[in-house]
Structure 1
Amino acid sequence: MDLVPKLGFCATVHYIWWERNRRLFENKVRTHDQIIEAIRLDVAIKCAAFPISAVHSPRNQFLADNWGIRVDWKVITQKTCAWFRPPTHMAVLHCDGSLTADRASYGGIIRDDAGVAIMAYAGKGDINSVLSMELFAILKGVTFCIQRNLLRVSIRSDSKLAVDILNGAMDCPWSMQILMDRIATLLQQLQRKEIKHVWRELNQPADFIAAMDTGDGEAIFNPLDFPQDLVELVKNDSDGKVFLRTLSH
């Protein structure tokens, strides 16, 4: 619906200028109401050319009514979510990739089945692709799990695309096939695995770690060295803190 005021502004400028030219060069005059109706009709026709969906609100209802626009109203619902434990004796690997204007990075945290942190890792990437960083975070995390003889792992990421690729639900882009093959080779070494998509609210510790500036190298963090903000995020998960997630459909 944010497009409607912009279309209205453009149409207003156009029809005012058109009316100016009609009066100067054609000696024709339209009433105030006729000009307004022409502007409204112009916007309505443009909006009818593509489907418009929006969250129902007094502002959006006002725009729809006054401009004569048909809107597919979205329904807003809220769902609760909280960190959930994996099957008994499985470690949990939370991964995340980060891409900003000047830095690509990855990070993750490994926890036991009660949510207690075992270690965390973060590093700078050299590929300017969010998906690449998400997959590389998983690659590094699985590598650390194997090194620590954690061979039953619940892998979790807030990147649905990365999870779908690893689960075979989507094809891997050719540019990342080598990275995907490396991950697949490591996954074969695990005795048991599950790869799950989680909402960002349930991936906050990994998101925090991936955003940490580790310079040009990779950093490994033991729980005793965690920043206080990270300690609190991990504790929130372990304590079963409930988050609200707003969904529209």
Structure 2
Amino acid sequence: MNMPSRPSWGARSIFKAREEANQLICCVIGDGKGIDFWKQPWHPDGFISHLYPEGRILNTLPQSTTVDNLLSNGEWIPTNQRTLPGLHPILNSALIIPGNHNQVIWKPHVNGNFTLTSACWIPPDEGRFKLNSDTSLCQTEVAIGGLVRDSNSSNITAFSINMPPKSIQELEMQAILVGPASARKLGLNHLWIESDSLFAINAINGKIKCLWKQIPILFNLKALLSEFQSWKITHIWREANSAPDLVSKTNCCIKVEDLPPSNLPPDLMALVLDDSSGTLYTRL
């Protein structure tokens, strides 16, 4: 289904959600029947039209091609290297179980099952880093904290600082601002930022207007992000954002200004290990 020529706000939202969901699904190929070779995200690395655009440009495979057209007895039919150079190695990384039905996999779930009642921490791609931040209020103390992690959580940097009392929205945006500054000090060029503050995410992405007090924070953040080669910022459910929450609470409660990777508290390391193993957290 294609987007209407004059879509409503609801239609645009649905199509945008579909694009985001497509990045989180792939298929275990059985017979390959009914799977559009070009237009469906059946490959674990995304759309074939993005992985191998030459095929569409050269028009060597019709737009109507389905995956089963290129399979025989569970094996990929050898392709002509003159007309489709480099396609076969891409196909060989697909997931195939001959004789089974095609199965859709929801990548955020450790078992591949789709669910809306739980949440998990999704690691960044290999070679990229992810920043999660949060804010904690402990009696009269306020602190912000965060974690920068790589794809397998083997490289971890934590930060946490005390803050003067402000509105929770300002603090959440401030927490996001401090994170990229720490990432730049580490020499990182590609960053995925996550926060459980939907207000902050929407304000940074330009979906809503922030209050005048928050404009300087937003301005400084965008200036800082422009120094990265690539970046994106998305929302994460609070239940899957417990690690940075604990970092901020640690600073708030025991006055730790710096949390070096070699000295992370055991309870924080336990949360990091749970996140990296794909643990599902029940949403409340």
Give the TM-score band, short-chain normalised. Answer: 0.5 to 0.7
Letter in 2 for 1:119: T
* Cα offset, 1:227, TM superposition: 0.7
Native 8 Å contact 2:135 2:145 kept in 1: yes
Of residues 151, 159, 168, the one that matches 2:197 is 159
* TM superposition shift of 1:101: 3.8
- Quote the offset at 1:181 in angstroms: 0.8
Pick one of 194, 218, 223 that aligns with 2:232. Answer: 194
Match of 1:84 in 2: 122
- How far is the alpha carbon of 1:214 from its aligned partner? 5.3
In the TM superposition, what are the counterparts of 1:90-129 in structure 2 within 5 Å? 90-129=128-167
- The residue type equivalent to 2:283 in the other structure is R
Whole-angstrom distance in 1 between the partners of 2:190 and 2:173: 19
Task: Work out whether residues 111 and 118 of structure 1, in 8 Å CA contact, stay in contact via their aligned partners in 2.
Answer: yes
> In structure 1, the residue corresponding to 2:257 is in which secondary structure?
strand
Task: Give me the whole-angstrom Cα distance separating, in 1, the residues matched to 2:181 and 2:124.
Answer: 19
1:243 corresponds in structure 2 to 281
TM-score normalised per structure 2: 0.56
Percent identity over the alignment is 29
**2:213 is equivalent to residue 175 of structure 1:** yes
- Paired amino acid for 2:171: M
Provide the aligned length of Structure 1 versus Structure 2: 170
What's 1:220 paired with? 258
For 1:166 and 1:186, how far apart are their aligned partners in 2? 12
Matched residues in 2 for 1:123 and 1:79: separation? 33
Secondary structure of 2:164's counterpart equals: coil
What are the superposed Cα offsets for residues 56-104 of structure 1, whole Å, 9 maximum, x if unpaired? Answer: xxxxxxxxxxxxxxxxxxxxx9612221122332101000012344122
Larger radius of gyration: 1
**Range 91-100 or range 149-158, more displaced:** 91-100
Secondary structure of the residue aligned to 1:121 is strand
Higher RCO structure (Cα 8 Å, ≥6 apart): 1
Q: 1:229 aligns with which of 267, 273, 284?
A: 267
Letter in 2 for 1:161: F
Q: What are the equivalent positions in structure 2 for 1:26-65 lying under 5 Å apart?
A: none
Q: Does structure 1 retain, via aligned residues, the 8 Å contact 2:142–2:252?
A: no
Gaps of 5+ in 1: 1-76
Distance in structure 1 (CA, Å) of the matches to 2:280 and 2:253: 34
**1:141 corresponds to:** 179
Deviations 1:162-205 (A, max 9, x none): 11111111112101111111111001111111101000121111
Shift in CA distance, 232/87, structure 1 to aligned 2, threshold 3 Å = same
Q: Which moved more, 1:83-92 or 1:200-209?
A: 83-92
> TM-score if structure 1 supplies the norm length?
0.64
Partners of 1:217 and 1:151 lie apart in 2 by: 31
Deviations 1:110-159 (A, max 9, x none): 10122334210111111321111111111111001111111100100011
Structure holding more helix per residue: 1
